[in-house]
Chains A and B, each alone.
Chain A
Amino acid sequence: QVQLQESGPGLVKPSETLSLTCAVSGGSFSSSDYFWGWIRQPPGKGLEWIGSIYYSGSTYYNPSLTSRVTLSVDTSKNQFSLKLKSVTATDTAVYYCASRPSSGYEFKYWGQGSLVIVSS
């Protein structure tokens, strides 16, 4: 059973970079079994996929965010990270890390979520 846990600052100033990390346990992070990803949810709104990354480092991003997003993996620490630059108040959201099996497309495992507020 894969377990995911987000960590990072809960408050980010406008125009700065939002950085979150997702620690993975209970599974082989470096295996080809899973893709890892980030999904966010603004307060009271729906879900928006941000991007996904494979253990090898290959990535794909939501076209609406691709100019500001970078995902990376650290296989030595069993974790992957999100950086979103030039944030504004509209980036305020609960950020979830999640995983999907390589053979599927559904997000089977989710972290508990990390609320990030963009405010000065």
Chain B
Amino acid sequence: DIQLTQSPSFLSASVGDRVTITCRASQGISSFLAWYQQQPGKAPKLLIYAASTLQGGVPARFSGSGSGTEFTLTISSLQPEDFATYYCQQLNSYPRMYAFGQGTKLEIK
């Protein structure tokens, strides 16, 4: 099975900062990677799919890049509403299953 490892697991930053979260796959997954944001007590929200395509309605300060085994989610200028937990996710071809990274909690410094 393909494993997804996010780094860091915890990130402390300030409003206005630029932050980057990394998701590494244990083997190449082309560009089949999505990113989600989860606020406390809420369902995850899709931010980015196909590694770099922004979901409709998501602010342009969010961006994704990467392919193969290393992917990044970048927030160019943190806003107060961005402090949340972020997950990466991919679809494994065989066995056919979905996997999530362990999450990155972004906290206010």
Chain A: residues with CB nearer than 8 A to chain B?
37, 39, 46-49, 52, 60-63, 96, 104-108, 110-113
Chain B: residues with CB nearer than 8 A to chain A?
1, 32, 34, 36, 42-46, 49-50, 55, 87, 89-91, 95-103
Q: Which residue of A lies closest to B48 (CB)?
A: A106
Whether B43 contacts A112 by the Cβ 8 Å rule is yes
B-chain residues with CB within 8 Å of residue A111 when the two chains form the complex: 43
A62 to B99, CA, bound (A): 9
Whether B97 contacts A107 by the Cβ 8 Å rule is no
Contact of A62 among B36, B55, B97 (CB under 8 A): B97
Instruction: Report the minimal beta-carbon distance from A10 to chain B, rounded to whole angstroms.
Output: 15
Whether A105 contacts B34 by the Cβ 8 Å rule is yes
Whether B97 contacts A60 by the Cβ 8 Å rule is yes
A47 to B37, CA, bound (A): 12
A6 to B7, CA, bound (A): 32
A63 to B49, CA, bound (A): 24
A46 to B88, CA, bound (A): 11
A96 to B87, CA, bound (A): 15
Instruction: Report the minimal beta-carbon distance from A51 to chain B, rounded to whole angstroms.
Output: 9
